[in-house]
Structure 1
């Protein structure tokens, strides 16, 4: 006997089946924009959103410690500008100690940032 071919697409393996769903709300303008982007890509809106979510690259948010270190560095940058102005006015020898103090503070902050980034990778 001859086997009859079944119509339709072959069944997916269990690991290929999409069984979970997220509900996402968009404004009317956002939805129209996404529809047009999906159309340009030749995909359905669902497939476009799926690919966009799977392919996106995210950055970790800045931790409070990192934000504090950035503020400290910003303050130090201001101090460096003031020291540069003093050096032009009074000469290098007059502000030498301030320079060493800023260098040690920058080194401390860099060490703190390195330690925090290593802790967050674990």
Structure 2
């Protein structure tokens, strides 16, 4: 490797600074294990993550569904557009952005009024 060449960065998530190297064993009946597995599956978590959350916090934070993620992404994009509109309003005056702001508010209203799947 040439010292003048820049180092290539590795992609992906950086390694965790905390290693999980301790283990606990819990004895369960088949029914108890099935019940816990179903709850973990419903929360969208693997058994280890589900159990860890339950033990440490008393509840498990369920992962967002793909539909919820898509909605959040759309809201974030609308927020970016709204921020750009605000910058334009400051530069060019408020009247220059009225129609675009109204359109974005309608889109945001439609996204937030979607019925939640339960």
TM-score band by shorter chain is 0.5 to 0.7
> How far is 1:60 from its partner?
2.5
Please list every run of at least 4 consecutive aligned residues from structure 1 whose deviation after the TM superposition is greater than 2 angstroms. Answer: none
> How far is 1:99 from its partner?
0.9
Q: Matched residue of 2:80: which SS? A: helix
RMSD in angstroms over aligned alpha carbons?
2.7
1:103 is aligned to 105
1:8 is aligned to none
**Structure 1 unaligned blocks of 5 or more:** 1-26, 35-44
- Paired positions, count: 74
> How far is 1:28 from its partner?
8.0
1:62 is aligned to 64
Residue 78 of structure 1, aligned match among 55, 77, 80 = 80
Structure showing greater radius of gyration is 1
2:22 is aligned to 30
Structure with the higher helix share, 1 or 2: 1
Q: Per chain length, whose mean CA-contact separation is higher, i.e. which structure has more relative contact order (CA < 8 Å, sep 6+)?
A: 1
TM-score (norm 1): 0.52
TM-score (norm 2): 0.53
| CA–CA distance in structure 2, aligned partners of residues 68 and 80 of structure 1 | 18
| CA–CA distance in structure 2, aligned partners of residues 62 and 84 of structure 1 | 30
